[in-house]
Structure 1
Amino acid sequence: MKYNFDEIIDRTGTDCVKWDAVQQRWGRNDLLPMWVADMDFRTPPFVIEAIRKRLDHEVLGYTFACKEWSESIINWLQERYGWTISREMLAFAPGIVRGIAFAIHCFTEKGDKVMVTPPVYHPFFLVTEKNEREVVYSPLVLRDGQYHIDFDRFEADVQGCKLLILSNPHNPGGRVWTNEELARIADICDESGTLVISDEIHADLTLPPYKHPTYALASEKARMNSLVFMSPSKAFNMPGLASSYVIVENEELRHRFFKYMEASELSEGHLFAYLSVAAAYSNGTEWLDQAVAYIQENIDFTEDYLKEQIPAIQMIRPQASYLIYLDCRELGLSQSELKRLFVEEAHLALNDGTTFGKEGEGFMRLNVACPRSLLHKGLEQLKQAVASAK
């Protein structure tokens, strides 16, 4: 089946954050939203059909995890990543950020240190701070157009940290870490006594020729000292269902975390949480392949457009996901001036680079998971804004 990713869908009036929260966030509603990390494509028809079929039975009573939920995850991980897990290693989580918060509560105390690698997905450090833990920042290094880990600094910074929250693949840079890098992280964290929380929500959006290396498969030390969080929500455009899961191979860690989750019924899903995952993973290969190909074409389109029309703005080419980190430092603007350029002149709503840490000064994050006509429109508006600012 050929899916249509060029279709423009009016999402306004659906209480969606990406479109309907623009007025609240920017104080105006004339901006083209290219910020929040969801897609402007239809959620796949097989997911919608699974929900519709359940709604045909007009009793929305209590539910439990259907066997197709765990079976679909186990099969997906085996086929996609060569990762063999058992049902006992798997637990539901009502969203990955929530799951990370649960892990912080389970494995740390107030005042404990938790390390992140900025620029990085901001809830990592915001959730840590709000739960009264100390955030340790170990910045990545931008080199040759990609982010890299400064392992000498990483090893020094991680000392005394109870947790490392790892973005794998990395957001906002879109970097796919290598097996060698992950194994080195595992060695260092094993030595320092630091538990690794690996957020792999963008794994299914890894762009060819790159392949996603799940953290737990990097080495035995990685396997025995990690919690891996995953979800089909980004790849199949259904984050509103808040359906994620965690995999813990170490039996001792698993018993401790699952017991914590079960004590407050945090591992119980809602009516559509299980069947939507089963539908996505059981039927989604063809749809996802086409979606990834379309996203990759949008990335190519953006890269070519910037080089030809706005050479002062460069991009970090993502190896995974539909998020592009725009390097705007050549414009010579302060961050406030840069934000004004995008909002007041280009009429675009993007994520401010400093949202991801002070290392994001001079950057903006662009979401290209939209019909190409909208992407072209946004880039045209940016081109005109930059030209008029000269």
Structure 2
Amino acid sequence: MKYNFDKVIDRSNNYSAKYDELESKFGRKDLCSMWVADMDFESPKPVIDAIKARAEQGIFGYTSRTDSYYDAFTGWYKRRYDWDIKRELIANSPGVVTSLSVLMKEFTKAGDKIIVQTPVYYPFLNVVKDNGRQLVLNPLKNIDGDYVMDYEDLKKKIDNKVKYLILCNPHNPVGRVWTKKELIKLGNICIENNITVISDEIHGELVYGENKYTPFASISEEFRKNSIICLSATKTFNIAGLQDSFVVFPNKKTYEQFKGFLDILGIKRNNCFSLVAVETAFRHGEEWLKQLLEYLEGNCRFIIDYCKKNIPSIKPNKPQGTYLVWLDCRDLGLDDESLNDFMINKAKIALDEGRWFGEEGKGYTRINIACPRTTLEEGLTRIGKAVEEYL
């Protein structure tokens, strides 16, 4: 079927954090909401239909994960990436951030160092610090708006206290889809120094053009044994509110330790809707995803062209993946407090502050373009008008 991504959906009664939390987070309600990473699009029709059918059963008791559920997940990655995921090494958790926090608590100890590559999705920073571990920054190199890994800096930062590196593949917020060559170079450094890679690959399906997502653990058996991979259907198919994710472990021991901790917390079952939604998405969501990517790529072109013509002082990167665009606002000459105030109270738009993503995010902001083009145009028009008045 043909999906209509231009359809504007009223989310005022959607119990949406993206809209309902505007006042508590940004201080006002009258903002164009383009911050948190969920989409303003309906999920695939087969997913909606599967949830309706499940609801009509009328019984919502404790759930049991079926072989069919896991087969849909492993089949997706085998079909699309020729990656064989071992069923017995797949654990479940409510979300990737939950998984990262449990991994820090269960697999590290006080004094251990964890490497992250900033600017990066800010929960990476928080799960390390909030669990009392030492954060080691390996900033990406920004070469005229194109971000690359700094391998020499990484080597300098490594000592015998570094236990893990948290990788964002593809990268949020800069939109890089790491090449296989880049991942191999990173992975070899980690193997040589006994550093396990924890790879958040939640945006793996959201990749444009000739760029290709490479699951880190699929590169080689050696890489598989030295990595823990966090995956989910929720970002790809806009079902984050159903809270379901997968963690692929290198061996049975680490799998059992992780699963055991979640069992202690009583977090060992999906809700009844996430089971059918996730399985249906992996089995029947491919056509929707194909159309989504075409639309998002159009939004990418739109924002780049719009800023070039109308707001040249703000420079968006061209993402290779994700539906998040990294806006370079440094030419405005505003410090971070002033830039935040400018976007909220002058442009009246809610964005993720660049400084949340680390020191390298100062002077930047992140915009979510997974919305109808009219919404994107409205947000950019607000920014453009505010910039014109300011300059």
Settle same-fold status: TM greater than 0.5: yes
Q: Name the count of aligned residue pairs.
A: 390
Residue identity matched to 2:165:
L
Equivalent residues of 2:6, 2:374 under 8 A apart: yes
Matched, 1:318 2:319: yes
Matched, 1:299 2:331: no
5+ residue gaps, structure 1: none
Give the aligned partner of residue 370 of structure 1: 371
Deviations 1:149-192 (A, max 9, x none): 11011122232211111111000001011111111221111122
Matched, 1:246 2:256: no
Give the aligned partner of residue 22 of structure 2: 22
Greater displacement, 21-30 / 266-275: 266-275
Q: Report 1:12-51 matches (<5 A).
A: 12-51=12-51
Residue identity matched to 2:57:
H
Deviations 1:17-54 (A, max 9, x none): 11110011111111100000000001222112111111
1:63 and 1:208 map into 2 onto residues whose CA distance is 39
2:165 and 2:310 map into 1 onto residues whose CA distance is 40
Give the aligned partner of residue 194 of structure 1: 195
Q: Percent identity?
A: 40
Give 1:262 shift: 4.3
Deviations 1:310-348 (A, max 9, x none): 111111111111100001111222112211221111110
SS at match of 1:227: strand
SS at match of 1:204: coil
Residue identity matched to 1:269:
N
Matched, 1:145 2:145: yes
1:106 and 1:194 map into 2 onto residues whose CA distance is 16
SS at match of 1:205: coil
2:355 and 2:326 map into 1 onto residues whose CA distance is 11
1:346 and 1:201 map into 2 onto residues whose CA distance is 31
1:260 and 1:222 map into 2 onto residues whose CA distance is 25
Equivalent residues of 1:66, 1:275 under 8 A apart: no
Deviations 1:220-277 (A, max 9, x none): 3321111101111111001001111011234444344344444545443222222111
Shift in alpha-carbon separation, 1:163–1:266, aligned structure 2, 3 A = farther
Give the aligned partner of residue 118 of structure 2: 118
Residue identity matched to 1:10:
D
Residue identity matched to 2:367:
L
Shift in alpha-carbon separation, 1:339–1:263, aligned structure 2, 3 A = closer
2:213 and 2:322 map into 1 onto residues whose CA distance is 11
1:253 and 1:356 map into 2 onto residues whose CA distance is 29
Equivalent residues of 1:158, 1:189 under 8 A apart: no
Residue identity matched to 1:299:
C
Residue identity matched to 2:206:
L
1:370 and 1:143 map into 2 onto residues whose CA distance is 29
Give the aligned partner of residue 88 of structure 1: 88
Residue identity matched to 1:197:
I
Give the aligned partner of residue 166 of structure 1: 167
1:234 and 1:137 map into 2 onto residues whose CA distance is 26
5+ residue gaps, structure 2: none
2:371 and 2:215 map into 1 onto residues whose CA distance is 27
Cα RMSD over matched residues?
1.4
Matched, 1:70 2:70: yes
2:126 and 2:132 map into 1 onto residues whose CA distance is 10
Deviations 1:97-148 (A, max 9, x none): 0011111122101232111111000001111111111111111111132211
- Structure 1 consecutive aligned stretches of length 4 or more whose deviation exceeds 3 Å: 249-267
Residue identity matched to 2:48:
I
2:266 and 2:88 map into 1 onto residues whose CA distance is 17
2:291 and 2:203 map into 1 onto residues whose CA distance is 16
Give the aligned partner of residue 52 of structure 2: 52
Equivalent residues of 1:30, 1:347 under 8 A apart: yes
